[in-house]
Amino acid sequence: MRRILVVGPSWVGDMVMAQSLFVTLKRGGPCEIDVLAPGWSLPILARMPEVRRGVAMPLGHGEFGLGKRWALGRELAAEGYDQAILLPNSLKSALVPFFARIPLRTGFRGEMRYGLLNDLRLLDETALPMTVQRFVALGRPADAAQPPAFPNPHLLADAANQATLHSRFGLADDRPGIAFMPGAEYGPAKQWPLPHYAALARELVGRGYQVWILGSAKDHPAAEEIAADTPMVHNLAGRTQLGDAVDLLALAEAAVTNDSGLMHVAAALDVPLVAIYGSSSPEHTPPLSGKVSIRSLGLECSPCFKRVCPLGHTRCLVDITPASVLQALETLGAGGARMASTAD
């Protein structure tokens, strides 16, 4: 049985998409997969049955830490890995597998990694426009046909934790939940306007739903603005760990989200999903699910991939109305009236 160490990415969405690689490796023959990744990602890896274990990288994002990387590499040398697959393209991501003396070290050329990698691939961005395609290609022979077919990610929720969270946050038993993910870590050019989220929340509550707002502590003020003066809207931003967010999303009837990491989590849970795109494009990192409605206006100025709208109006998001998102939810089989009392 082959033993493989995958050096994982540093973003939530990319880590979810990496599961397509793990499934591909398992389908290629018996293997054990460990993933070297940031500590925050371990709860996601724990919900991927293909992964034997996650190994926490003892360094912060962007930290070089040559001595720590050498020590970790020497520690992992005892595991006897047959291959390392590097998903990041950085120089520093290649150091641990090199120090661990893993005999086959696979990755794209990236930042001058000659010598550190001995299975060096050239990335053809035209043949592999999607991030998930690039990940899966690294798990196949270098001469395999491109682009590769790939399985969609599929995370498994923790049922025991779901029951705990439902009780802790006092979520209603008689109202289905719809999750909102309004965070915009990248910048406001990817954030659907908060008044639009608030208007949609009021309409959904009136139709018999409860709304769960998920995100990090940074998203808490935005979630407060959405939840203001509307009962049955729960601001859970900053009150959950990443694994909790996975388990809550699995309970939701549907989700509405910006282009974000939690968007990919919801897709991997097969939750009906309305994904709203502004400055970014679904062509490179789309939510990988068959239950997705993408709202994107395709204006002449988008996608610009800017953090802040260079024209100052963010029409690519402002002009996506709450009514159109509600219609998209209904198309997915969610968002319709659920309580007879709402019609009284």
Distance of CA 154 to the CA centre of its chain: 12
- Residue 225 is predicted with a pLDDT of 95
- Judge if pTM exceeds 0.75: yes
Residues 6+ away with beta carbon under 8 Å from 139: 21, 24, 25, 28, 85
Three-state secondary-structure class, residue 61: coil
Residue of 21, 7, 15 whose CA lies nearest to 265:
15
Two structure tokens written together for 171: 């979520």
In which residue are the tokens 């050329």 written?
Answer: 109
Sheet with 210-213, strands from edge to edge, namely: 233-235, 210-213, 177-181, 254-258, 273-276, 292-295
- Structural contact between residues 227 and 239, judged by C-beta atoms closer than 8 angstroms: no
* Dihedral angle computed from the Cα positions of residues 164, 165, 166 and 171, in that order, rounded to the nearest 10 degrees: 150
pLDDT per residue as tens, the chain (344 positions) = 999 999 999 999 999 999 999 999 999 999 999 999 999 999 999 999 999 999 999 887 778 899 999 999 999 999 999 999 999 999 999 999 999 999 999 999 988 788 999 999 999 999 999 999 999 999 999 999 989 999 999 999 999 999 999 999 999 999 999 999 998 777 788 899 999 999 999 999 999 999 999 999 999 999 999 999 899 999 999 999 999 999 999 999 999 999 999 999 999 999 999 999 988 888 888 999 999 999 999 898 988 889 998 888 999 999 999 999 999 999 999 998 876 444 33
Q: What percent of the chain is helix, strand and coil (3-state, nearest 5)? A: 35, 15, 45
Residues 6+ away with beta carbon under 8 Å from 213: 179, 180, 181, 182, 219, 223, 226, 227, 233, 234, 235, 236, 237
Rg (CA), the chain: 21
DSSP string for 236-301? -TTSS-HHHHHHHHHH-SEEEEESSHHHHHHHHTT--EEEE-SSS-TTTS---SSSEEEE----TT
Burial class (CB in 10 A: 0-12, 13-18, 19+), 300: exposed
Q: What gap in Å lies between CA 312 and CA 25, rounded to an integer?
A: 46
